[in-house]
Structures are given as structure tokens and as C-alpha cells.
Structure 1
Amino acid sequence: MSEERGEKPNARRESGRTGFTDGVDRREFLRTVGSVGCAYGVARLVGIDDVLSASGEVEVVTALVRDDDSSDPWAVEERTTDVPARWYESVEKAIEVNEALARTSVPGYLGSAVVPGDYDEGATVSVGVSVDASSVRDILSGITDAISIEVEEFDDVSDIGRIDGIGEFDGGTDTSTYEPRFAEGVTNAQIASGVACETSSSLATLAPALYDPEEGGSYFVTASHAFDVEGTENGDRQRIADAVRDEQLSLPTQGDESVELGTVRFGHPVQDVALVDPVGPLSPPQSIDAPEPIPVRGQLTKYGLADVIARGESLEKVGAMSGHTTGDVEGMEAITCFTDPFCRRGQIRWGSEMDLVDGDSGSVSYYPDPGAPDDGALIAGFNNARTWWPGQSYVWGVAAYRITAEHGYHF
């Protein structure tokens, strides 16, 4: 990962709750009413009656799970559970509102995220803006009266906007005290994820295998931005994807041996994921090198992640530099629009900025499989960036379900 980073902007995230009256607090929880958002191209999405009228329970898919005993790792089974219908409707509407915010001309919009409450509460949308929070009240008031919208104001974003890719955010934590976690050696075809892998320009973390049902293949995976190739400074997505293709990925080991893993077949800069065609003796990893090695059984879905948040459960990760950490989930379906000339959707915000240091990009966040809590993990998403400004502290990266929806791959 790059050693460069931007200077920290000043952010105000003061506690306090206000209505539509003027106040000194810049962190505002808005119970929105009115319809002036239509002037900005956003019709009212939903009324609160749609949420309050929901009753009973709704069945949701929480995970896609592979059968370890099957000879077909590309086949997955859906795992389901029942959730309160009112909570489900609240999360659904929050997702709609969140997407609408990204499409509108909200002044100073930097990003937003959905925050599901517990099963007795409704969902919230957290919005970050670079202007006075009060100036966006009227726009937000036209979107919905069904959920709360939290507005966080960042006063100085001169160093946030349009930095050349998320790799530029690395730094901020002294990594001199960390030693890379290299694979112990190559004694058989199987290796674990969570150890260091190496590109021509940097160390990153090797992720678990991604499976491609369409082609019947599996891939080594790490962060796309770990391949710091020339000619991609303007953030053009197709140019980055083309430049990364055919770049080599290798596996350094504790014995100073380096094993070639393969070359990049697919680069997906928006999701910040690179898939590498295997060559040589090693197979893409099917486990995580946690304190107790844990096999990967599948992945969380959108509502699987929302369920984890509603129950107040934590995610875990193993990075090549910082090792094993755990943390709470701060938001899902996050949209980030200040790292490149394009917005990144379907992001997870979790943990703290201390959970990701240079070299950890490409690692995954995971959750113990409820069907086999002592013998399996479900992947939540990738970890590729972290906050670097005062007032907020979390890691972010694309959710596994977003990768599946966009490209068909699954864990």
C-alpha cells in the first residue's frame, strides 16, 4: 500500500439532538417532513405509514453457504431467518433513501450509509456533507418521513476531495512496529488467507478464494489498488482495469522463498478487487489464518449483515500486518464519493481506523457461521481503506454481496 496520505481535515461530529430549530450542535438527527426535495429531482419516496403498517414477520436470506462435502464448490445454498416486518420495511426504505441521496444534488455530499437499528428500532441514514448541515435541511425534508437522517458536517475537506484513489489514504499509523505475516512455507497445495502477498510495488493481504460459477473457476484475490501501475492517475475505471490486468501476484514466505501465484485476470477498481488466475502448485485459500484457523463456508447477504448489526454482533478480520482484530459495524450499503472521480457503493463501515494499517488491504471482514460457529466463517466484505480525519473512526470496503450482485463471484 502507498505510504502517501492526505492531511487530516477538520470534522465536527458533536453529540446532540435537534429538530428543525436552529441550534449550536452540528450533528443533527432530522425527522424529516415536507416535500421540497422534489425541486432537486427527488420525489417523496415513502411515507411513515408504509413502515408503521407492517406487521408480523418476513423471511429474509441471511447467507449463501457452500456445502463442504460437495464436489461442486460453485453451488451455494441459501440460509434464511424470520425478522420483524416493521424493521424490515424500515431498512428497505433507508436503503432507498440512501441511494436517492447519492443521485441528488445535495450540496457538499461526501457519502452516506444505512444504520439498521435493533429489532425494536427503525433504521437511520448517516450523511456526510462538506457544507453547513442546516443548508441541506430542506432537501432532506423532501425525501422521507419514515426514517431519521443523521447529518455530519466536515468543515475542511480540501484534502479529501478527489484524491487519486484509496491507496493514497494509507499511512497515519506507525507500521514500523508491525512485522508482515508471511506464509510459513509451501508444503502442500493449500494455503490460508490473511497472510502477505506481494505485487511489483507493495505488500497486501491475500483474501480467501472467490468462486466464479459462470466459468467454474476460483481465483486468488487481493486489493486492486495494491497494483500501483502507471497511467492510472486520473482515476479512469476502464484504464485502471486494463492496466492491472496481467500484473503478477506472488506469495512471500518465512523462508525467504517467493512463490508465484498467478497474473491478474480481472481488475475491478470500483470495488477495489483484483482476481488472479492461479498458476503453479498452490490453490486459492479456503480458510483464514486466524488465531484458530477457520474455514470459509460462504458469505453474508445484505440482510445477513443487517441482522448482525441489529443483534449488536461484531465482525473480525486478519490482516497481513495488524493481524486479528474485532469491531462493531457502524453502517452498511455505504456510498463513498470522495476517494475517486466515481462513487463506491455497497460499502461496509466497521471497527476503528486502528484495525487497518498499510499492508492490510485485501483482507476480509468475517462473522462466525451460526450454523457452525466453531468450524466456519461467513465473509462480510473486503477491507481496503480507513478514516483519516477527526470525529470518525472506521474501516471500509465493499460488501461480499455487492461483489456477487455486480459480477457473480462468491466466497
Structure 2
Amino acid sequence: MERTHNEHLVHRLATLRDRIDAGMDRREFLRTLVTGGYALGVAKFLGVDDFLAAGDGEVPIVTGLVRSDPDDPWSIEERVKYVPAEWYAAVEKALELNERLARTAFTGYLGSAVVPGSYESATATVSVGVSTDAESIRETVEGLFEGVSLQMETIIDVEDIEEGPEDLEPRLAGSVSMDDVPSGVACQTAESIATLGPALYDPSSRQELFVTAEHAFAGGATPSRDQLSLPVENAETVDLGAVEYAHPTEDIAAVAPYGGTAPSNSIDSPSPARVRGQFTRLGLADLVARGEKLEKVGAVTGHTTGKIQGIDAVTCFTDDFCRYGQIRWGGEMDLTDGDSGSVSFHSDPEGEDRDVLVAGFNNARTWWPGQSYVWGVAAYKITEEHGYHF
């Protein structure tokens, strides 16, 4: 009997170990992985030893970029995990088809996301939001989705943006020191309040940067001109720095410190939290497969947790362009005005008790009937596009 595409991919993945030699050079190794069914973005992080150590029916994936030394932001190393080859094949197929769907951008397309199944199910779903008749579009695209479930949802009234509650006061920093400006508290632009994110690192310049939502600056952030400040409880507002980089598509503004205070990798959460690194795309897929939840600390709604509803999402609900590499998680009550700029995170499974890894930023929430989640750009997408990391 002829194999399906997924069965053929699983076979190629499962036999990769037999085709890898400890003495092969890097170029030959990468060529072998890509022809064996690995995405190049995944393969580049792996080494020969990772495959030679895999068990039968398993393949290695990189789940995180983590600091080996918590105090050294440049000591980044890959975190490797072994997963069932069938599950990896299903997820990679769904990611590939989600990307193809976004490129096609058919009439009525508002976005889509990949929802990995459990390791036991070895499945994945692509969830698609449309503004027109879902069934007619299903007939158009379903042929592309062999081996992947397709979930179509019709979305109406997208234009009517609801305002968040107006009676909530933002959480302010209690005090400020040279090396302790925790994330999860309010920061301030000339026009509005947002949430300060944890320290963002730029390997190309060796800069340690403050970060928040770019849309908090009216009309968009302008580098070198716009400034970010920190309201402090029972004290004067502290000027943090000037915008160094503005990325409206990802909705982040990176701010270079003036020197009086420095960014911190701590999060002002109910339990002490220290950012140790970030999840990769497949690291997020692993969290979904295990039913794990994300957390966030916003300046207005504070600490909340929620289920991951989709990864590698495409969002075309706002502006005149689509946003890629998004996370959907939690519910619309987990975010309101003033929470933008906060990050979603999860405990580091191999770190110390207070260590966490960042999943991504929180930039917006649903406001239409039938769906309820927070969305924002994933940390891996920021690294891919601009090189920054947590």
C-alpha cells in the first residue's frame, strides 16, 4: 500500500539516525536533516550527537534558548528534547500549511493558527478565521491539508473594537534601584500607560534594553526622539531612556537606558520570577502537547494564567497588514488597556524554582463574539526577525 505524505515523512525522520555519521561535516549534516524531513530553522540548532542519542521512533527538537549562566545574558545555549517522530511530522506539516495559507491570503482570510495535538494523538490542527462563508472556503483549501485537521470559523463585527474597563488603576513600581526595574509594572509614554517588559538583549550591539508595546506611542515610536518613563509609587517619575529601535509589525519598542537605571530580568509576579531565556516555536508546541498554561503579569489586570490556543498564528484583524509568528492564549479578560507590553511566560522545566522562559509579548485581545484570547508576537519570531532575545 502506498504511504501517505505524513507516513512517508515519519519514515524518513525515523531512519535519520541510520544516515548520520559522527564524522560528517556541518554542511553534509544539515543537508541530511533537511532531506530527511527537518525544517531548516529547526535543523540549524541541532548537532550530530543529538540524533545519535535519540531512541527508536524519536527525534530531537530544540525547545528553548536558555542562559547557562543566569547572570550572563550572552551565555545562550539550546535546550534539546526528544519527541515522537509521528507527532513532529504532524506539527511540521501543520506549520507548513499554515504558512502556505497565509501566503495565499484568499478573500475573507482574517488569520490562522496551528494547534498541536498531544504526543499520544500525534495530530495537529490548523484553525482558520474568515469573514465570509466558511464552508465555501473549506472546499477551496481542504485539498492542501492532507493529514492535518482543518477548523474553520466565521468571524463577524471585527471593526467594532471594545474599550477595556476604565476603573482599574495600573500597578506602579514600589521603588527603583540601579539594577532592579522589574517587568510587569506600568511604564509611561507621552501619551499613554503600558506594561514594562523584561530586559531584552541585542547580541549585535551587546545592548541591554527596556521594552514595551510600540503602539503605546501615539502615531508610532520614533527612535531617538520618543522617551519611556517609569511612574513610581509615592515618588517622582523616573526617565528610563529613549527609543532605540521601533518595530510596528511586531509591536515592540526597544529603549536604550539613560544610565540611571537598568533593565531587569525579574518579573513582579506573586512568586519571584527570573527570566532565564525563551521558548522556540517547537518549545511552544511542546507546551501545548502537554497541556501546559502560560502566565502573564500586566500593569492593570495583574497576574493571570491561561491555556495556549494556537501557535505560529497569523493575525490580520487590525491595520492594513498581517502579523506573523503570534501566540494565542488565555481569554479576553486576561488583557486590557495598559497591559500591552507584558510577556507571557512559563516555568523553566530544567531551571531553578524561580526561573521562567518567555513565550512572547501580549499586544491585544479579541473583541468580537465567538472567540476569546490574547495575542502577541512570539519571542522566537523576534529573534528570527531582529536577533533580540530574552
Fold match by TM threshold 0.5: yes
- Give the direction of change, closer, same or farther, for the CA distance of 1:134–1:379 in structure 2 (3 Å limit): same
Residue of structure 2 equivalent to 1:291: 270
Matches within 5 A, 1:312-331: 312-331=291-310
How well do the aligned residues superpose, as a CA RMSD in angstroms?
1.7
Query: CA 1:99 to 1:190, structure 2 compared with 1: closer, same or farther past 3 Å?
Result: same
The reply to whether residue 356 of structure 1 matches residue 314 of structure 2 is no
Bigger shift: 283-292 or 148-157? 148-157
The answer to whether the aligner puts 1:134 opposite 2:129 as a matched pair is no
Q: State the match for 1:191 in structure 2.
A: 181
Residue deviations 1:268-325, cap 9 Å, x none?
Answer: 0000000001013211111100002211101111111110010000000000011100
Q: Distance in 1 between matches of 2:258 and 2:358?
A: 25
Quote the offset at 1:266 in angstroms: 0.3
Using the TM superposition, give the Cα deviation of residue 51 of structure 1 relative to its aligned residue in structure 2, in angstroms: 5.0
Give me the whole-angstrom Cα distance separating, in 2, the residues matched to 1:154 and 1:325. 26
Alignment correspondent of 2:5: 47
Structure 2 distance, partners of 1:270, 1:63, is: 24
Deviation at 1:50, TM superposition (A): 3.4
* 1:29-68 paired onto structure 2 within 5 Å: 47-51=5-9, 53=11, 55=14, 56-68=57-69
Asked if the contact 1:170–1:385 (Cα under 8 Å) also holds between the matched residues in 2, the reply is no
Deviation string 1:188-240 (CA, Å, 9 cap, x unpaired) is 431211000000000000000110111111100000000013xxxxxxxxxx4
Distance 1:261 1:156 in 2: 39
Confirm or deny: 8 A CA contact 1:48 1:147 kept in the other structure.
Answer: no
Q: Note the C-alpha offset of 1:156.
A: 4.2
The total of aligned residue pairs comes to: 343
**Judging changes above 3 Å, is the alpha-carbon distance between structure 1 residues 315 and 326 closer, same or farther for their aligned structure 2 residues?**
same
SS of residue in 1 equivalent to 2:147: coil
SS in 2 for 1:142: helix
Shift of 1:117: 0.5
The aligned counterpart of 1:174 is: 165
* 1-structure distance, mates of 2:166, 2:279: 31
Contact 1:245/1:267, CA 8 A, preserved across alignment = no
Question: Which residue identity lines up with residue 78 of structure 1 in the other structure?
Answer: E
1:404 aligns with 2:383: yes
Gaps of 5+ in 2: 15-56
1:86 and 2:65 matched: no
Measure, in 2, the Cα distance between the counterparts of 1:76 and 1:298.
8
Out of 271, 279, 282, the position equivalent to 1:303 is 282
Whole-Å separation in 1 of the counterparts to 2:156 and 2:178: 54
Instruction: Determine the C-alpha separation between the residues in 1 that align with 2:271 and 2:66.
Output: 21
Contact 2:6 2:90 in 1 (8 A): no
Percent of pairs with identical residues: 57
- Kindly provide the CA deviation profile for residues 349-397 of structure 1, in whole angstroms up to 9, marking residues without a partner as x: 0000000011000000000011125121100000010000111100000
1:62·1:80 contact (CA, 8 Å) conserved in 2? Answer: yes
User: Displacement of 1:246 after TM fit?
Assistant: 2.3
**Does the 8 Å CA contact 1:335/1:345 hold for their aligned counterparts?**
yes
For 1:373 and 1:311, how far apart are their aligned partners in 2?
20
Q: 1:154 Cα deviation (Å)?
A: 2.0
- Is residue 2:100 matched to residue 1:100? yes
1:244-259 counterparts in 2 under 5 A?
245-259=224-238
Supply the AA of the counterpart residue of 1:63: G
Equivalent in the alignment of 2:76: 76
Query: How many angstroms does 1:338 deviate by?
Result: 2.0
| Partner Cα distance (2:277, 2:307) in 1 | 20
The Cα of 1:139 is off from its aligned counterpart by 1.8
Q: Structure 2: how far apart are the matches of 1:252 and 1:211?
A: 23
Residues 70 and 276 in structure 2, CA contact (< 8 A), matched pair in contact too: no
1:340 and 2:319 correspond: yes
Q: Distance in 2 between matches of 1:253 and 1:363?
A: 18
Letter in 2 for 1:185: S
SS in 2 for 1:316: strand
Amino acid at match of 1:81: K
For 2:225 and 2:308, the matched residues in 1 are separated by 35
Amino acid at match of 1:221: V
- Where does structure 1 differ by over 6 angstroms across 4 or more consecutive aligned residues? none
Q: Which has the higher contact order (CA 8 A, sep 6+)?
A: 1
Letter matched to residue 5 of structure 2: G
Distance 1:105 1:304 in 2: 27
How far apart in 2 are the matches of 1:396 and 1:89? 26
Which residue of 279, 282, 290 corresponds with 2:258? 279
Deviates more, 1:253-262 or 1:135-144: 135-144
Q: Which residue of 2 aligns with 1:118?
A: 118
Q: Residue 170 and residue 50 in structure 1: after superposition, are their counterparts in 2 closer, same or farther (change >3 A)? A: farther
Partner Cα separation in structure 2 for residue 107 and residue 174 of structure 1: 34
Q: How far has the Cα of 1:244 moved from its partner?
A: 5.5
Residues 155 and 320 (structure 1), Cα distance of their counterparts in 2 relative to 1, 3 Å cut: closer
Task: State whether structure 2 residue 207 is matched by structure 1 residue 204.
Answer: no
In 1, Cα distance between the equivalents of 2:297 and 2:257?
22
Deviation for aligned residue 1:52: 5.6
Give the SS at the match of 1:207.
Answer: coil
TM-score by length of 1: 0.80
Distance, in Å, in 1 between the alignment partners of 2:96 and 2:383 is: 20
| Aligned residue type for 2:359 | A
CA shift, 1:255, in A, is: 1.3
Letter in 2 for 1:93: K
Is the partner of 2:198 in helix, strand or coil? strand
Partner-residue secondary structure (3-state), 2:260:
coil
Change (3 A) 1:81 1:250: same
Check conservation: 1:381, 1:399, Cα contact below 8 A.
yes
Partner secondary structure for residue 208 of structure 1: coil
Q: Which secondary structure state, in structure 1, belongs to the residue aligned with residue 381 of structure 2?
A: helix
